[in-house]
Amino acid sequence: MEIKIGIQHTARELNLESNLSAEEVEAAVAAALKDGGVLTLADEKDRKVLIPGSKIAYVELGEPTGRRVGFGAI
């Protein structure tokens, strides 16, 4: 699953691919926002991302799009 996280006072968003389901990510984000804790997510290569809950601006969840190859019609 593709996850995009906007962080306050940062021009760029954080993009990562994770094996977590949308429900698992939603629960982790809700817990971090509610308690003012830290959002911890692992990407496909088991690297961890830690974000303070108070600094999260938005979270966008979606399925990854397949990469297009070649010069075929769009």
Q: Mind giving me the DSSP string for the chain?
A: -EEEEEETT-SSPEEEE-SS-HHHHHHHHHHHHHHT-EEEEE-TTS-EEEEEGGGEEEEEEEPPPPPP-SS---
Tens digit of each residue's pLDDT (9 = 90 or more) over 32-60: 999 889 999 998 889 999 999 999 999 99
Overall pTM > 0.75: yes
In percent, the amount of the chain with pLDDT more than 90 equals 64
All domains of the chain in start order, with CATH? 2-62 (2.30.30)
